[in-house]
Structure 1
Amino acid sequence: MKTVLGALNPIALRLGPIQVHWYGVIIASAVVIAVALAVREGQKRAIRPDDIYDMILWALPFTLIAARLYYVAFQWSYYSQNPGEIIRIWDGGIAIYGGLIGAAIVVVLFCRSRFVPVWLMLDVAAPTVIMGQGIGRWGNFMNQEAFGRVTSLSFLQGLHLPQWLINQMYIDGAYRQPTFLYESVWDLLGFVLLMVTRHRRGWYKQGDVFLTYVAWYAFGRFFTEGMRTDSLMLFNTIRISQALSVVLFIGSIGLMVWRRRHTNQRWYLDGSGQKMVTENQ
């Protein structure tokens, strides 16, 4: 456990023996905002709100489980000796890439069972997902994790950061690179980019919004991961998230180009091609 002079309290609220962590509050808030935005956009693309709500109910638990299992698997040397801590997800220790893999599997299976276009659903969700990731990184900030290498106080002050943020970056006796902040800013810029461009006619075929999200996130994650000191490693030499970022960046762009050339996809703005049916009709 890190002890830091002037660090923010990771506990948001205590209700008797129950502790509500800021980490959970921030993640939950990100999910609520993301779902609201996805439902609003889904209605424009002729996807029923109930389909999105039902999908989220299935996706959330599997996403959290997959994110935790991914993290635990690559930290097994520790968790095999401390199995009781495997479920302590509120202390941090989830891998975004693991969560995204779990979520993608659920979305594909769910959409096929409801006859909802898979690529369209992924497109609707993509901007809200990267927004949620950007907000969620502040949970890492509160837990003082996902930080970078040792840096100087003058460097952090040169970034014109508020003092409370600088104080929180004093970890294990030294100031650290706020890599959580770099990734958060990158994610939120990606959110703005997708929100601004996805309604431009003639820009996106169905699937392109999602693949653009994957490429954008993977590109930024490659660099922020290289600055971190807590990366999950493969064979003690390869940063797993960096390697996966390279694969996803190349794969998403390649798939986008291939689909444009060899498949006849509907435009994103065309939606599902079905009329919305409400309970009052």
Structure 2
Amino acid sequence: MTIGIDPFIFRDPIVLSWHGFFTFVGVGIAIYLIDRWSSKEEIDSDVIYSVALWVIIGGILGARLVHVIDRWDYYQDNMSHIYQVWRGGIAIYGALIFGTLSGLSNIYIRKHLGLVYAGQKQTWLKNLVGEKIAKGYLQGSMYAKFKDLSTGRLLDLVAPAMAIGQTFGRLGDVINGEHISSKTDLAWGVIYSHPDSGSFTFHGLNPSHPVIIYEMLLTAFAFIVLWNLRGRLGPPGMIFITYGIIYAIGRFFIQFMRLDSVWFAGLQEAHLISLLLLTICVPILALRATWTSRSN
């Protein structure tokens, strides 16, 4: 398969790549699905969009940060390029991890600091912004909508939507050819013929593994598994944890076909993050399954 499409949709007056366009599409699909499914869980749309805003901001910053760390050998001599996201270079792991942490932070602030304020005369937020503003923020309509929110149930909606969003969002990476992979003689090897493609710069007209297509198949498979686990895997939050396990295992093996910077013992950054996720997620799933079994 040969792909000769220009990685950029247009370059003037602003720069827009296929990667950026489909990332926007993937995020939009994920938010739409979460909002649609949330009504069945009695989660207000305002909650979804409030959390989504934090997830997007945290995801963008995290994706760039993890990429810069991985390519520090380049960025330490080109510091001004760190902020030039349009040049390309984000890490999906950074988006997933920091986006999740950012969204959870929003929920924590809305719920727990609001509960503290409701039960005490003073909180750090009251002292910081004043009683009137704090009271309006914490006891207004948004506070009421967050107060009884089940974070686990929300995460279980996020997981399958995120899998679908990633699947479509990666289409831009397939077109751009910016993720360099090892050469292959297999029939499904892909050749990037456009001179602005990163793969062409590295491999010329030699075929390489379509690692992003492999990852799209992984996330599509994860969606099928998660969708069939709805209502069958408890307690709340375990579907999200299961997605973390499936993605980490698949990404660990796919990563061996990518030519990213080696960090330790022949392993790349994504390998180490995958192992870290598995170290966290597998025990959580096992312990929660044990507790649920004992409770029953």
**TM-score bin (small chain):** 0.7 to 0.9
Distance 2:67 2:83 in 1: 12
Alpha-carbon distance, 1:250 to partner: 4.2
Q: How far is the alpha carbon of 1:25 from its aligned partner?
A: 0.7
Residue 146 of structure 1 is matched in structure 2 by 179
Whether 1:205 and 2:230 are equivalent positions in the alignment is no
Match of 1:216 in 2: 246
Q: Residues 252 and 271 of structure 2 are in contact (CA less than 8 Å); yes or no, is this contact kept in structure 1?
A: yes
Cα pair distance change 1:76/1:166, threshold 3 Å: closer
Residue 24 of structure 1 corresponds to 20
In the alignment, what sits opposite 1:254? Answer: 283
What SS does structure 1 have at the residue aligned with 2:207?
A: strand
How far apart are the structure 1 equivalents of 2:232 and 2:253? 31
Alpha-carbon offset, residue 261 of structure 1: 2.4
Report the CA distance between 1:240 and its aligned residue. Answer: 1.9
State the alpha-carbon separation in 2 of the partners of residues 87 and 263 from structure 1.
46
For residues 171 and 87 of structure 2, the distance between their equivalents in structure 1, rounded to whole angstroms, comes to: 13
Partner SS, residue 234 of structure 1: strand
Kindly name which structure, 1 or 2, has the bigger radius of gyration based on alpha carbons: 2
Paired residue for 1:7? 4
Give ranges in structure 1 of 5+ residues lacking alignment: 267-281
Distance 2:239 2:184 in 1: 37
TM-aligned CA distance change 1:61 to 1:145, over 3 Å: same
1:176 maps to what in 2? 208
Question: 2: distance between equivalents of 1:47 and 1:182?
Answer: 34
Q: Which runs of 4+ in 1 moved over 6 A?
A: none
TM-score, structure 1 normalization: 0.80
Cα displacement (A) at 1:166: 4.5
Given that residues 251 and 274 in structure 2 are in contact (C-alpha distance below 8 angstroms), is that contact kept between their aligned partners in structure 1?
yes
Post-superposition Cα deviations, 1:168-221, rounded to whole Å, max 9, x if no partner, equal 6765222111111111111111112212331xx443320111011001101110
**Is the 1:111–1:117 Cα contact (8 Å) retained in structure 2?**
no
1:68 has 2:64 as partner: yes
CA gap 1:235/1:246 in 2 versus in 1, 3 angstroms: closer
CA RMSD of aligned residues (A): 2.5
Structure 2 residue 262 is matched with structure 1 residue 226 = no
| In 2: Cα distance, 1:103 partner to 1:66 partner | 7
Distance 2:163 2:99 in 1: 13
Does 2:261 align with 1:240? no
d(CA) in 1 for partners of 2:54, 2:232: 33
TM (normalized to structure 2)? 0.77
Count of residues in Structure 1 that have an aligned counterpart in Structure 2: 250
User: Quick one: distance in 2 between partners of 1:194 and 1:147?
Assistant: 30
